Amino acid sequence: MVPRWLSRKVLVIILAASTLITIALTAITFYINYRFKLGLLDLSFAQLQRLTLGPLSTAVWSFDDEQILKFLEGIVATSSKRISMT
Protein backbone atom coordinates (compact mmCIF):
# COMPACT_ATOMS: atom_id res chain seq x y z
CA MET A 1 0.00 0.00 0.00
CA VAL A 2 1.26 3.47 -0.94
CA PRO A 3 1.76 5.87 1.97
CA ARG A 4 -0.84 8.62 2.17
CA TRP A 5 1.77 11.46 2.17
CA LEU A 6 3.25 10.13 -1.07
CA SER A 7 -0.14 10.21 -2.81
CA ARG A 8 -0.66 13.83 -1.77
CA LYS A 9 2.84 14.78 -2.85
CA VAL A 10 2.37 13.22 -6.29
CA LEU A 11 -1.02 14.94 -6.65
CA VAL A 12 0.45 18.33 -5.74
CA ILE A 13 3.33 17.85 -8.19
CA ILE A 14 0.96 16.86 -11.00
CA LEU A 15 -1.34 19.82 -10.35
CA ALA A 16 1.57 22.28 -10.13
CA ALA A 17 3.18 20.96 -13.31
CA SER A 18 -0.08 21.07 -15.28
CA THR A 19 -0.78 24.60 -14.03
CA LEU A 20 2.68 25.81 -15.03
CA ILE A 21 2.42 24.19 -18.46
CA THR A 22 -1.02 25.74 -19.02
CA ILE A 23 0.22 29.20 -18.00
CA ALA A 24 3.29 28.90 -20.21
CA LEU A 25 1.31 27.77 -23.26
CA THR A 26 -1.28 30.52 -22.73
CA ALA A 27 1.46 33.15 -22.45
CA ILE A 28 3.11 31.88 -25.64
CA THR A 29 -0.23 31.95 -27.48
CA PHE A 30 -0.94 35.50 -26.33
CA TYR A 31 2.55 36.62 -27.39
CA ILE A 32 2.25 35.05 -30.84
CA ASN A 33 -1.18 36.63 -31.32
CA TYR A 34 0.18 40.00 -30.14
CA ARG A 35 3.09 39.87 -32.59
CA PHE A 36 0.74 38.90 -35.44
CA LYS A 37 -1.64 41.79 -34.72
CA LEU A 38 1.31 44.18 -34.38
CA GLY A 39 2.53 43.09 -37.81
CA LEU A 40 -0.92 43.70 -39.28
CA LEU A 41 -0.98 47.14 -37.70
CA ASP A 42 2.45 47.96 -39.15
CA LEU A 43 1.28 46.84 -42.60
CA SER A 44 -1.84 48.95 -42.24
CA PHE A 45 0.18 52.05 -41.32
CA ALA A 46 2.60 51.44 -44.19
CA GLN A 47 -0.27 51.11 -46.65
CA LEU A 48 -1.95 54.23 -45.27
CA GLN A 49 1.28 56.17 -45.58
CA ARG A 50 1.93 54.92 -49.11
CA LEU A 51 -1.58 55.79 -50.31
CA THR A 52 -2.15 59.16 -48.64
CA LEU A 53 1.17 60.82 -47.92
CA GLY A 54 1.69 62.35 -51.35
CA PRO A 55 -1.80 63.75 -51.93
CA LEU A 56 -2.14 64.84 -48.31
CA SER A 57 1.14 66.73 -48.32
CA THR A 58 0.12 68.41 -51.59
CA ALA A 59 -3.18 69.50 -50.02
CA VAL A 60 -1.37 70.80 -46.93
CA TRP A 61 1.16 72.79 -48.95
CA SER A 62 -1.59 74.28 -51.11
CA PHE A 63 -3.60 75.18 -47.98
CA ASP A 64 -6.63 73.27 -49.27
CA ASP A 65 -8.57 72.84 -46.01
CA GLU A 66 -11.50 71.07 -47.66
CA GLN A 67 -9.24 68.48 -49.30
CA ILE A 68 -7.33 67.94 -46.04
CA LEU A 69 -10.59 67.37 -44.18
CA LYS A 70 -11.74 64.84 -46.81
CA PHE A 71 -8.44 62.96 -46.51
CA LEU A 72 -8.65 62.84 -42.73
CA GLU A 73 -12.30 61.71 -42.80
CA GLY A 74 -11.36 58.97 -45.26
CA ILE A 75 -8.49 57.83 -43.06
CA VAL A 76 -10.74 57.68 -39.98
CA ALA A 77 -13.49 55.84 -41.89
CA THR A 78 -11.00 53.30 -43.27
CA SER A 79 -9.42 52.82 -39.85
CA SER A 80 -12.77 52.24 -38.15
CA LYS A 81 -13.73 49.60 -40.74
CA ARG A 82 -10.44 47.76 -40.20
CA ILE A 83 -10.78 47.90 -36.43
CA SER A 84 -14.34 46.55 -36.52
CA MET A 85 -13.27 43.70 -38.83
CA THR A 86 -10.50 42.46 -36.52
- According to the model, what pLDDT value does residue 83 have? 57
pLDDT at 56 exceeding the cut of 80: no
Would you say the pTM of this structure is higher than 0.85?
A: no
Domain that holds residue 59: 4-85
Indicate the number of domains in the chain: 1
Quickly count: other Cβ atoms within 10 Å of residue 59's Cβ: 19
CB-based contacts of 34, cutoff 8 Å, min separation 6: none
**How is residue 63 annotated by DSSP?**
T
Each residue of 59-70: pLDDT tens digit? 777 887 888 788
Each residue of 7-41: pLDDT tens digit? 899 999 999 999 999 999 999 999 999 999 999 88
Side chain identity, residue 36: F
